Structure 1
Amino acid sequence: MTVTVEWARPDLDPRFVYVSRIGQELEKLKNPVYKGRTSMFTDELKHGNISLKLSKVKQADAGRYRCFIPERDEDTFMELVVGAVSAPITTLAGTDGKGGVVLQCESAGWYPEPELLWLDGEGKLLSAGPPETVRGPDDLYTVSSRVTVEKRHSNTFTCRVQQNNINQSRETRIHVADDFFIVQSSSTSTTIGLAVGLVVSIVLLILAVVLFVRTRRENSKSHINYIILDLYK
């Protein structure tokens, strides 16, 4: 049975993360930032399991750790990579007026900084502008992107957010109904404009005719009155 096990981070002072001697932890040697967050699998020590359990993991915990057994003069180094992930949310942002549909994807709570990809129904990359990435006060990243898509066989599109350093990825799919891919062509707009103009012209013409008729009637009445007065002279 191993008598002493030391877990440490060489970049810290004090460097010890966990020290155990004859199955008892030496709390006073531990770096304060790890207080109450490190332990070992006590029941597994007799089987040679001296793994370190770290709870309430923080981004600052990332780094190089050393496991040292003084009695054997053996040590092992390992790198701890800390990451955070979250599922993306994809929504329909609108249309471009030319038959294309604009999709929006956003994912918050990533670390380290992730990348965002758009894929079509066959898994092929879609052409999209560079995503917008914002780092919050908690050091977590929020990434978002928009892409304009055209009608396809399946109309199913995927937003994938991934971080290769921690080997993590999350994705979500969205299906766009055929009705959204309606072409708002310039000819249609022109036709509507001509129709409105024609209606306005007809209304103005009717008003002009009415005004003309009313004026003729008033002039006719004045002429009759003049003739009657002339007869009485």
Structure 2
Amino acid sequence: MIFRLHLIVSHNFPQRRMLPQIDALSLSPVKVFSIFIFHLLIYLNKAESQVVGPHQPVIALVDDDVILPCHVESAEDVTAQILEWTRSDLNPRFVHVWRSGQDLVNTRNPSYRGRASLFINELKRGNISLKLSRVKLSDEGTYECSIPLMEKKYFVNLVVASDAATSPVISLSGIDKNRGGVVLQCESAGWYPEPELLWLDAEGNLLSAGPTETLRGPDDLYTVSSRVTVEKRHSNNITCRVQQRNTNQRRESHIHVPEDFFNILSSSPSVTDTSPVSLALCIILLILSVVVLVRRKRKHIKTNRRPKDHIGDFQVSTDEDREKEQLNTKLENELQDEKKRNVEQEAKLNELEKKNTEILNQLQQEKETLEELKKQLESKNQELSDSISELNREKSMRESEINTIRDQLESNKQEVHFII
């Protein structure tokens, strides 16, 4: 019976064959049974313990703190275990390492130093969750939470979103005479991950719009824009909504298109182009139409005057004629004043447009200069980061080899002690 117990222990734990062989016949039955029970408990505990975490991705905003949940299901004390948080797409891949009761700071990836930590007091209850501080866009990815000696691990997916998204800006882009509608454009910037853009009417129904144009800037943030043709049959209240489903972020803006605008379109000449030139042409035509209507009104007033009575060489005017003449004069003066105001406003608009153009040109030049400086700085930082990464990689490999040998010796020492 003693001999059979010895075979069972050796079979279930082949990794201990390097230990000195002990003759089971030289040990008492009580000692052999105790050794068997001890190893059996370890084996059962190892089989029952599970490392678990969230089933859904963890969502975090830039610059916020986030916790990546991970724990041992049996609430086992893991203070003395080797705990590792890693990302396979990094080099070095270590985000946080806990070994021999302390943090191994030098083995971490440089981008996580000072930002990743464990809850030390919770390790005794099997909680090995990782806290990330000041989250960055580059932190997004799949993290592996593992206990190497237990051969247990779990994967946690982190999704990082930007909170710098701007409210959509709706503008008039042109006119589509064929469809009898106006073309609206919507644009929103500062999004991450990439969002979707929707056009809705007053009842919340989706409008058929053109494809969404997406632009990713040097800061990895997305800018989206889209155009839609609004027809008279649609409700006048239109909504542009930009949303990110994974992070539940949403921004939207509204615009009201007056019904009179469609009436003006229906009476204006045929214009099918939606370019700024055609839009300006439509506005000019609208102004000319107003001027023509005013002139017709003035002519109508003059033709409706009562005929004047003539007696010889003298003209006889009634009181009613004098009142009409005064009214006409007043209307003419008001029209002249309105024309002057329009000319002044147009001159101011031209001046403002000129200043805006100058400011935009200046900003563009400054932006190009800053981008060039940024590229130079990034290049230097990359060179320095590569050098540091290479040194840390060599150091990490050496420390890992030393720690592995140390852990193996310690484990062998403890096993020999328990067997003896």
- Please state whether the residue corresponding to 1:10 is helix, strand or coil: coil
Cα distance in structure 2, aligned partners of 1:146 and 1:127 = 10
- The reply on whether 1:144 has 2:220 as its aligned counterpart is no
Cα distance in structure 2, aligned partners of 1:151 and 1:185 = 10
The corresponding residue for 1:213 is none
Distance 1:47 1:106, change over 3 A: farther
Cα distance in structure 2, aligned partners of 1:54 and 1:148 = 46
TM-score normalised over the length of structure 1: 0.68
The corresponding residue for 2:85 is 7
- Please state whether the residue corresponding to 2:263 is helix, strand or coil: coil
Cα distance in structure 2, aligned partners of 1:167 and 1:35 = 27
Judge conservation of contact 2:176–2:229 (CA < 8 Å) in 1: no
Cα distance in structure 2, aligned partners of 1:32 and 1:188 = 65
Deviations 1:40-65 (A, max 9, x none): 23444344322111223233322221
Cα distance in structure 1, aligned partners of 2:152 and 2:215 = 44
The corresponding residue for 1:131 is 212
Matches for 1:1-233 after TM superposition, within 5 Å: 1-3=77-79, 4-21=82-99, 24-84=102-162, 86-93=165-172, 96=175, 100-151=181-232, 155-164=236-245, 166-176=246-256, 178=258, 181-185=261-265, 187=267, 192=289
Deviations 1:131-150 (A, max 9, x none): 22211111211011232323
Distance 1:39 1:148, change over 3 A: same
Cα distance in structure 2, aligned partners of 1:20 and 1:134 = 41
Judge conservation of contact 1:65–1:79 (CA < 8 Å) in 2: yes
Amino acid at match of 2:144: R
Matched positions, count: 198
Shift of 1:97: 7.9
- Please state whether the residue corresponding to 2:150 is helix, strand or coil: coil
Judge conservation of contact 1:9–1:66 (CA < 8 Å) in 2: yes
Distance 1:46 1:102, change over 3 A: farther
Shift of 1:154: 5.5
Deviations 1:56-113 (A, max 9, x none): 3233322221111234331112222333352432334266386644433221112232
More helix by share: 2
- Please state whether the residue corresponding to 2:185 is helix, strand or coil: strand
Amino acid at match of 1:132: E
Structure number with the bigger relative contact order (C-alpha 8 A, sep ≥ 6) is 1
Cα distance in structure 1, aligned partners of 2:88 and 2:186 = 41
TM-score normalised over the length of structure 2: 0.41
Deviations 1:149-172 (A, max 9, x none): 2356863322222344x3434131
Amino acid at match of 1:159: C
Cα distance in structure 2, aligned partners of 1:153 and 1:12 = 52
RMSD: 3.5
Amino acid at match of 2:172: A
Distance 1:75 1:157, change over 3 A: same
Q: Which 4+ runs in 1 deviate beyond 4 A?
A: 151-154, 185-193
Select between 81-90 and 122-131 the one with higher mean Cα deviation: 81-90
Identity %: 55
Cα distance in structure 2, aligned partners of 1:180 and 1:21 = 75
Judge conservation of contact 1:156–1:173 (CA < 8 Å) in 2: no
Shift of 1:32: 1.2
Query: Which consecutive unaligned segments of at least 5 residues does structure 1 have?
Result: 203-233
Amino acid at match of 2:237: T
Query: Which consecutive unaligned segments of at least 5 residues does structure 2 have?
Result: 1-76, 270-284, 300-420
Amino acid at match of 2:116: T
Cα distance in structure 2, aligned partners of 1:27 and 1:119 = 52
Distance 1:28 1:184, change over 3 A: same
